[in-house]
A and B are shown apart, each in its own frame.
Chain A
Amino acid sequence: MTPAAPSPLLQIRDLQVHFDTPAGLLRAVGGVSFDLDAGETLGLVGESGCGKTVTALSILRLLPATHADMTGEIRFAGEDLQTLSEPRLREIRGNRIAMVFQEPMTALNPVFTIGEQVAEALRLHRGLSHQDAWQAAGQALTRVGLPEAQRRLKQYPHELSGGLRQRALIAMALACEPEILIADEPTTALDVTIQAQILALLKNLKEEMGLAVLFITHNLGIVAQTTERVAVMYAGAIMEQAATKELYKNPAHPYTRSLLAAVPRLDFHQPPGEKLAAIRGQVPGLEAPPTGCLFMDRCPEAREQCQEPPPWVEVEPGHQVRCWNYA
């Protein structure tokens, strides 16, 4: 890469995804834009149904074309992934951009051994022979700290615990040394002590390989501890973007502030049963999202102006918020 990289590694502009459902057209993602630089970890955080997974899936065009309508621009290393031919995209998918999913049991194929599944990626993308791929798969498993890698190669997914399965999945994703790893709630199905292991592993691998990571999670603790930058999503749109430390210190959007206030703290100092600042009401339906600010109905600071779509405002360099409060 040139010393002054002119453009980010991944650039998403005004991504919109609509699903055609029997209940009508749903707007899952309504105009999402963000950049991911080489080697950086960006957290995409939000509650269920906010569109974070759909955003991730659309980057690699993994949504069913028959039901999902995508518009906008997704540029990876200068190429628009939206218009790329399927064979060209296949050279990128799983090779230069890899993905780790939430549920390691469903993401692995139950009828193939771990070794066969890790080796497959290497054969397809690296053109390795069966034997070489098998050997490289063993190395990939060792790298993610899977004990007794040679034995694990011959095991089926059901023979591994949840934590080990997730390690195998990470090994598979990283086998081809991608430039970007998209991790979609990679630790949500795991216990905290195992989660801590996986988070440490991802951090080490990221530093070792110079990976860029798009980390998708609903857990504000994980975002705080693993990412450099955060984008907060709500009802299919990004509401605020900033460096992680800045966002936690000076959350600007009322949604971000409400969300941070609603998290129970690990604190045995306070008396129990202290009121949490719950957010009243619930997320708006995706069939007919409000035309103005998406958070308006639940916002403690909503006013007349919020009927209009709020503008992006840069409150600090690199800290953008979509709210009339700052306009």
Chain B
Amino acid sequence: MTETLLETKDLSRYFRLAGPWGRGPLLQAVEGVNIAVMAGETLGLVGESGCGKSTLGRLILALLSPTRGRVRFEGEEVTALPKARLKQLRRQMQIVFQDPYSSLNPRMMVRQILEEPYIIHNLGAKAERRQWVAALLEEVGLGAEHLDRYPHEFSGGQRQRLGVARALALKPKLIVADEPVSALDVSIQAQILNLLADLQKRHGLTYLFISHDLSVISQISDRVAVMYLCRLVELAPRAVFDSARLHPYTEALLAAVPLPDPERPFKPPELKGDPPSPINLPSGCPFHPRCPEAQLPVCRDEIPEYRETAVGHWVACHFR
């Protein structure tokens, strides 16, 4: 459990937006992220929309190239690999997408969808592949009777099972799950979360689990990373979130969740305003304009260092 599977160093990605007269403003999607994913763990990545968590997931999978910084997978520098080697490496890392409706090709039958990864990577003979596909379906709780159906014939939960099956096809070590249950109803969401936990146990998978939903993150993660405006603001083992003092943003995020218990008082701290735009970042700490504990001038002028305050507990705040 203590072996590092994946590591990023100063990982950053900017996007140049199109303006009315050509080059527009620069959008900072991910800035200076240092993160290590341990083999066999589930690392939860939580943050509000637009904070850069999906972009980080894509950078890690080399689906996007970084503006700056590096990604290492099992000690190998992913960012500098020749194409052929990268393709080999892709077998080790797969993704499950949020929307099970748009991430499956509507013109392909389940059989074809699940066989495609093997064809792309030139694995197995036809008969062999058929067996693998049938086994995959069983693995995610579907049956051979589903092989000749099209995605539209399935419910949302079943489609997400297909998405998981496709990600499993090449027996990856790492699966980046990008909001895999956000589009699902609670009763179905529970099925998929259980399935992911089962598969992890059975195959020793490592998950980077991206979600905006703290309850879901707390359900599944061994460690949790919190992102705000393109930066990591906190990372810690799960138990820390129960006890220790946390980054003011994490505290606000936790307090903002309405709990399904009417006896527990709901008194979220008033966070002023909206998250600022990633096009025009605030100076200093990205959270200072909304932070209830911000102190001028330090929070406005200095970017807080992302540092380890206790073993395994990383925070970027001047006052933690």
Do A266 and B257 touch across chains, with their CB atoms under 8 A apart? yes
Most chain B beta carbons < 10 A, residue from A147, A259, A272, A280:
A272
Given A260-B260, A262-B190, A272:B222 Cβ within 8 A = yes
Name A203's closest neighbour in chain B (CB-CB).
B266
A200: which B residues are within 8 A, CB to CB? Answer: 268, 270
Name B181's closest neighbour in chain A (CB-CB).
A264
A305 on interface, CB distance cutoff 8 Å: no
A196: which B residues are within 8 A, CB to CB? Answer: 255-256, 258, 268, 271
Do A262 and B238 touch across chains, with their CB atoms under 8 A apart? no
Q: Which of B23-31, B69-77, B209-217 contacts A (4 or more CB under 8 A)?
A: B209-217
Contact among B186, B219, B242, B273 for A220, CB-based, below 8 A = B186
A47 on interface, CB distance cutoff 8 Å: yes
Given A273-B42, A282-B157, A225:B258 Cβ within 8 A = yes
Do A248 and B42 touch across chains, with their CB atoms under 8 A apart? no
Given A193-B252, A196-B256, A265-B219, A48:B185 Cβ within 8 A = yes
Do A277 and B190 touch across chains, with their CB atoms under 8 A apart? yes
B261 on interface, CB distance cutoff 8 Å: yes
Proximity bits, A37-71, B CB within 8 Å = 1, else 0: 00000000001100000000000000000000000
Q: Which of B92-100, B106-114, B191-199, B302-310 contacts A (4 or more CB under 8 A)?
A: B191-199
Proximity bits, A251-272, B CB within 8 Å = 1, else 0: 0000000111011111111001
A275 on interface, CB distance cutoff 8 Å: yes
Do B257 and A221 touch across chains, with their CB atoms under 8 A apart? yes
Q: Which of A128-161 contact B (CB under 8 A)?
A: 147, 161
A163 on interface, CB distance cutoff 8 Å: yes
Contact among B241, B261, B275 for A268, CB-based, below 8 A = B241
A194 on interface, CB distance cutoff 8 Å: yes
Contact among A193, A265, A273 for B200, CB-based, below 8 A = A273
Do B262 and A276 touch across chains, with their CB atoms under 8 A apart? no
A126 on interface, CB distance cutoff 8 Å: no
A124 on interface, CB distance cutoff 8 Å: no
Proximity bits, B53-83, A CB within 8 Å = 1, else 0: 0000000000000000000000000000000
Nearest-CB distance from B43 to chain A (Å)?
11
Nearest-CB distance from A2 to chain B (Å)?
31
Could you tell me the distance between the alpha carbons of A312 and B255 in the complex, rounded to whole angstroms? 38
Proximity bits, A183-204, B CB within 8 Å = 1, else 0: 0000000011111110110000
Do B215 and A265 touch across chains, with their CB atoms under 8 A apart? yes
Could you tell me the distance between the alpha carbons of A13 and B128 in the complex, rounded to whole angstroms? 60
Name B255's closest neighbour in chain A (CB-CB).
A196
Given A224-B258, A275-B197, A197:B185 Cβ within 8 A = no
Contact among A48, A163, A192, A268 for B257, CB-based, below 8 A = A192
Name A277's closest neighbour in chain B (CB-CB).
B190
A279: which B residues are within 8 A, CB to CB? Answer: 187, 190-191
B221 on interface, CB distance cutoff 8 Å: yes
Could you tell me the distance between the alpha carbons of A143 and B228 in the complex, rounded to whole angstroms? 30
Could you tell me the distance between the alpha carbons of A277 and B238 in the complex, rounded to whole angstroms? 22
Nearest-CB distance from A68 to chain B (Å)?
23
B193: which A residues are within 8 A, CB to CB? Answer: 264, 276
Do B256 and A193 touch across chains, with their CB atoms under 8 A apart? yes
B239 on interface, CB distance cutoff 8 Å: yes
Give the A-B pair count, Cβ closer than 8 A. 146
Name B224's closest neighbour in chain A (CB-CB).
A268
Do B219 and A274 touch across chains, with their CB atoms under 8 A apart? yes
B153 on interface, CB distance cutoff 8 Å: no
B135 on interface, CB distance cutoff 8 Å: no
Contact among B48, B191, B201 for A192, CB-based, below 8 A = B48
Q: Which of B166-197 contact A (CB under 8 A)?
A: 185-191, 193-194, 197
B293 on interface, CB distance cutoff 8 Å: no
Could you tell me the distance between the alpha carbons of A267 and B186 in the complex, rounded to whole angstroms? 17
A197: which B residues are within 8 A, CB to CB? Answer: 270-271
A278 on interface, CB distance cutoff 8 Å: yes
Do B268 and A273 touch across chains, with their CB atoms under 8 A apart? no
Do B219 and A248 touch across chains, with their CB atoms under 8 A apart? no
A16 on interface, CB distance cutoff 8 Å: no
Given A191-B212, A192-B48, A245-B263, A267:B187 Cβ within 8 A = no
Could you tell me the distance between the alpha carbons of A162 and B50 in the complex, rounded to whole angstroms? 12
Contact among A163, A191, A272, A278 for B187, CB-based, below 8 A = A278
Nearest-CB distance from B146 to chain A (Å)?
14
B274 on interface, CB distance cutoff 8 Å: yes
A7 on interface, CB distance cutoff 8 Å: no
Q: Which of B227-274 contact A (CB under 8 A)?
A: 238-242, 252-264, 266, 268, 270-271, 273-274
Given A191-B275, A200-B270, A266-B215, A278:B239 Cβ within 8 A = no
B155 on interface, CB distance cutoff 8 Å: yes
Could you tell me the distance between the alpha carbons of A194 and B257 in the complex, rounded to whole angstroms? 11
Do B186 and A262 touch across chains, with their CB atoms under 8 A apart? yes
Given A196-B256, A197-B271, output 4 extra A-B contacts at Cβ < 8 Å.
A221-B259, A264-B190, A268-B242, A273-B201
Residues of B in contact with A (beta carbons under 8 Å apart): 42, 48-49, 155, 157, 185-191, 193-194, 197, 200-201, 212-216, 218-222, 224, 238-242, 252-264, 266, 268, 270-271, 273-275
Residues of A in contact with B (beta carbons under 8 Å apart): 47-48, 147, 161-164, 191-197, 199-200, 218-226, 244-245, 248-249, 258-260, 262-269, 272-280, 282
22 CB < 8 A contacts A-B: A162-B274, A192-B253, A192-B257, A196-B258, A221-B215, A221-B260, A225-B266, A226-B258, A262-B189, A263-B190, A263-B215, A264-B220, A266-B214, A266-B215, A266-B218, A266-B259, A272-B220, A275-B194, A276-B219, A278-B187, A278-B194, A282-B157
> Which 4 residue pairs are nearest across A and B when measured between Cβ atoms?
A221-B258, A264-B219, A278-B190, A276-B190
